[in-house]
Amino acid sequence: MSKRLRRWHKIALLLAICALVGIGIFWAAKPVPRRPQPLATPSIEEDAHWGELRLKMVREQIAASGIKDPRVLAAMETVPRHTFVPPEWLSQAYDDHPLPIGYGQTISQPYVVALMTELLDVQPGEKVLEIGTGSGYQAAILAQLTDRVYTIEIIEPLCLQAAQRLRGLPVQVRCADGYYGWEEHAPYDGIIVTCAPDHIPQPLVNQLAQGGRMVIPVGPPGSYQTLWLIKREGQEVISERIGHVLFVPLLRSTEGLTP
């Protein structure tokens, strides 16, 4: 091969290398189109983890403390309490105590939710009213037992948040002062009050159906209250004292509504 030809070979090789490097740089710099990302959904492992904690809660805190109604136990096993708890309290979602939900309010202790639900003795198709929606957890438990649940919350941001969480469940949420009940849908087979007034609100008694039950804590704010089971039977209203509980006070109109 002549010297000249070899020189041309070298130049051609050099050009080929440059072209390959150029193509490489072009592909590396070209943005790779992003696939649409799926919405954050909990993994199967995460679901299994929360499910195990829920079973443990029901077995060791709720059934072990004397709750027997299989429908109440099943409801507590089903409703994902961790989705009703603020992120900073997630690790305690299945512990047996109340947790803060903002605005000075709390999601109730799981055992107390189970006890009050058992006392209310809701049958399928019955109409139930809750005063004090809070996180929406108690309402979600009630919605496992009947498809007619009404709930009232006085603090608007909590009310709107709970309404969002409860979407898809047979629960109607109203942002108002629950002292007056919800006349439009009365009478109710069950009324459950999850904040404590210092007396039994007469409008709630009036909105109880014949044979209706009301579970309500009554007492002064800031100290233990008495939990009452009230039944309307004919002309009579029968009250049974259940025990002591600690609830946030029932607020009136706009008192104490700071975040």
Nearest-approach distance from CB 247 to ligand SAH, in angstroms: 7
Q: How far apart are CA 71 and CA 77, in angstroms?
A: 10
x/- letters, 50..89, toward ligand SAH (CB under 6 A): ----------------------------------------
Catalytic annotation on 108? yes
Site for ligand SAH in 159-178 (CB under 6 A): 177-178
Are the C-beta atoms of 231 and 76 separated by less than 8 Å?
Answer: no
**What single string gives the DSSP state of each residue in 207-223?**
TEEEEEEEEEEES-TTS
- The residue annotated as part of the active site, out of 65, 91, 108, 135, is 108
Indicate whether 122 belongs to the interface with ligand SAH (CB under 6 A): no
Tell me whether the omega of the peptide bond preceding residue 36 falls within 30 degrees of 0, making it cis.
no
Q: How far apart are CA 236 and CA 234, in angstroms?
A: 5
Interior CA angle at 117 toward 42 and 189, to 5°?
A: 120
Nearer to ligand SAH, 152 or 216 (CB): 152
Nearest-approach distance from CB 45 to ligand SAH, in angstroms: 27
Nearer to ligand SAH, 93 or 251 (CB): 251
Nearer to ligand SAH, 143 or 208 (CB): 143
List CB contacts of 179: < 8 A, sequence separation 6 or more.
131, 197, 201, 203, 204, 250, 252
Indicate whether 105 belongs to the interface with ligand SAH (CB under 6 A): yes
Indicate whether 228 belongs to the interface with ligand SAH (CB under 6 A): no
Are the C-beta atoms of 129 and 150 separated by less than 8 Å?
Answer: yes
Which residue numbers are catalytic?
108
Residues that bind ligand SAH (CB under 6 A): 105-108, 131-132, 134-135, 137-138, 152-155, 158, 177-179, 194-195, 248, 250-251
